[in-house]
Amino acid sequence: MSEVRQEIIKHGKWSTFVSYAGSPKDGAVLLLHGSGPGASAWSNWQSAVETFSKDYFTIAPDLAGFSKSAAPAFPDTVLGWMDLWFDQLLDLLEHFGCSHVNLVGNSLGGAVALHLLLRRPEMFRSVVLMGSVGAPFQLTQELDFIWGFYDSPSEEKMARLISWFAYDEAFLGDRLKEIAAMRFKAAMDPAVREAFSAMFPAPRQRHIDDLRIPEADLRQIKQPVLLVHGKNDYIVPVETSHYLLEHLGGPVQMHIYGRCSHWTQIEFRESFEYLLAGFFKGAL
- pLDDT tens, per residue, the chain with 284 residues: 679 999 999 999 999 999 999 988 789 999 999 999 999 999 999 999 999 999 999 999 999 999 999 999 999 999 999 999 999 999 999 999 998 899 999 999 999 999 999 999 999 999 999 999 999 999 999 999 999 999 999 999 999 999 999 999 888 888 889 999 999 999 999 999 999 999 999 999 999 999 999 999 999 999 999 999 999 999 999 999 999 999 999 999 999 999 999 999 999 999 999 999 999 998 75
Max intra-chain CA distance, the chain: 47
**What is the model's pLDDT at position 31?**
98
Could you list the beta-strand ranges (E) of 12-66: 14-21, 28-32, 57-61
Beta bridge partners of 124: 101
Distance CA 46, CA 139 (A): 28
Predicted local confidence at residue 48, as pLDDT: 97
**What are the Cα distances from residue 168, in Å, to 9, 34, 173, 209, 273?**
37, 20, 9, 30, 21
Phi, psi of 209 (to 5 degrees): -65, -40
Q: How confident is the model at residue 170, as a pLDDT?
A: 86
Predicted pLDDT of residue 199: 96
| R_g (Cα) of the chain, nearest Å | 17
Beta bridge partners of 117: none
Whether residue 102 contacts residue 201, with contact meaning beta carbons closer than 8 Å, is answered with: no
Strand partners, 230: 257
Alpha carbons 43 and 65: distance in angstroms, whole number: 15
CA distances from 273 to 54, 67, 111, 132 (A): 12, 24, 21, 17
Do the bridges between strand 252-257 and strand 57-61 make them parallel or antiparallel, or are there none, so unpaired?
Answer: unpaired
Provide, for the chain, the percentages of residues in helix, strand and coil under a 3-state DSSP scheme, each rounded to the nearest 5: 45, 20, 35
In the CATH scheme, what is the homologous superfamily, with its name and number, of domain 5-282? Alpha/Beta hydrolase fold, catalytic domain (3.40.50.1820)
Residues annotated as part of the active site: 107, 233, 262
Regarding pTM above 0.85, the answer is: yes
Sign of the C-alpha dihedral computed for residues 187, 61, 52 and 117 taken in this order: positive
Domain residue limits, the chain:
5-282
